[in-house]
Amino acid sequence: MARLVLMGSPAFALPTFEALAEEHEIAAVFTQPDKPAGRGLRPTPSPVKRWAEARGYLIFQPRSLRRDPQAVAALQALRPNVIVVVAYGLILPHEVLETPPYGCLNLHASLLPRYRGPAPIQAALLNGDAETGVTVIQMTEEVDAGPILAMEREPIYPDDTAETLGERLARRGARLMRETLRRWLAGEIVPQPQDPSQATYCPRITKADGEIDWRRPAVEIDRRIRAFTPWPGGFTFWNGRLLKIGRARPRLDLQAPPGRVIAVDAGAAVGTGHGVLELLEVQLEGKRMLPIRAFLNGHPDFLGATLGREHPAGAHAP
């Protein structure tokens, strides 16, 4: 049994933290500060904070470890053997990386050095990869660049979203981190350096990334919708209101002007730069997600409209 400090924020970290808590002593949990959320913008704890509170763990929420010497001192006073980091969201400075005798281990949701950065799951979906995976590294001051301790691959299915793929990677990562930590503490792993010439990087996702450009090919738009599910979602505009696309599928046997809504098999599809995107589920702003046929029953004027921000009045084809 080792004495651990856990660092993480989103639900992706929870399977790993659950697995480690079964075998090791948890000295404390570090997570992001509560963030405003919902219509009232009330401070909302991270999933990791809620998990730690339910188990009575000591919790720290510094806004920065590089600019908060008191938080670093408190961490050092805990005397952890290992720090385990999963999607924490803060940079660990040198004095933190050097604190535990067995170092800081990070679980990253890609096959490093591919997709270093904050959104590797979305990046794999956006690029149409056939597989991705999880990697455990020993952390260094360069983000996601430390030597590799273990790696496992995971297939990407045609209907995967960031949510479904993320759930599988979280479970796989939990198993991998638990076994890797055992072997690391036993001195059974020789770290393997990453090849920096093979490194690729993915940027942070913003809400604006979810807006659909109907001039792009249908296959690419479908990837973007799946990559941005559940957040920020793939969305467009109709009649000046936001319209979220819950599920869709590309069809290359049909064509229509980009953004134009056409009837397809008692449903609807939207023209793109190449092919059309057949809509399966949509959600109009302020309403619930509906199958496309149910949506058309209530909005028959949707057919023939042109979608997008440049058509706020819901322009129709002549």
pLDDT reported for residue 243: 98
Long-range pairs of 62-69 with CB within 8 A, sequence gap ≥ 24: 62/30, 62/33, 62/90, 63/33, 64/90, 64/91, 65/90, 65/91, 65/92, 65/93, 65/96, 66/91, 66/93
Element (H, E) at 221: helix 218-227
pLDDT reported for residue 311: 56
**Against a cut of 0.75, is the pTM above it?**
yes
* C-alpha distance from residue 115 to each of 33, 118, 139, 202, 234 (Å): 26, 9, 16, 6, 22
* CA–CA separation, 122 and 137 (whole Å): 20
Residue 111 has pLDDT above 90, yes or no: yes
Residue 41 has pLDDT above 90, yes or no: no
Residue 284 has pLDDT above 70, yes or no: yes
pLDDT reported for residue 240: 92
Residue 315 has pLDDT above 90, yes or no: no
Long-range pairs of 188-191 with CB within 8 A, sequence gap ≥ 24: 189/149, 189/150, 191/138, 191/146, 191/147, 191/148, 191/149
Each residue's pLDDT tens digit, 177-233: 999 999 999 999 999 999 999 999 999 999 999 999 999 999 999 999 999 999 999
92 within 8 A of 68, measured Cβ to Cβ: no
How many residues in total does the chain contain?
318
Each residue's pLDDT tens digit, 286-313: 999 999 999 999 999 999 999 998 754 4
Query: What's the mean pLDDT in 138-165?
Result: 97
Best CA proximity match to 7, nearest among 43, 57, 44 = 57
pLDDT reported for residue 313: 47
* C-alpha distance from residue 193 to each of 13, 25, 76, 79 (Å): 24, 29, 27, 27
Three-class DSSP category at 298: helix
Residue 16 has pLDDT above 90, yes or no: yes
Domains delineated in the chain: 3-198 (3.40.50.170), 207-302 (3.10.25.10)
- Amino acid, res. 271: G
Confidence of residue 234 (pLDDT cuts 50, 70, 90): very high
* CA–CA separation, 134 and 172 (whole Å): 7
* CA–CA separation, 314 and 265 (whole Å): 22
For tokens 């997570």, what's the residue? Answer: 31
Each residue's pLDDT tens digit, 80-100: 999 999 999 999 999 999 999
Confidence of residue 37 (pLDDT cuts 50, 70, 90): confident
pLDDT > 90 fraction of the chain, expressed in percent and rounded? 94
Query: What's the mean pLDDT in 235-250?
Result: 97
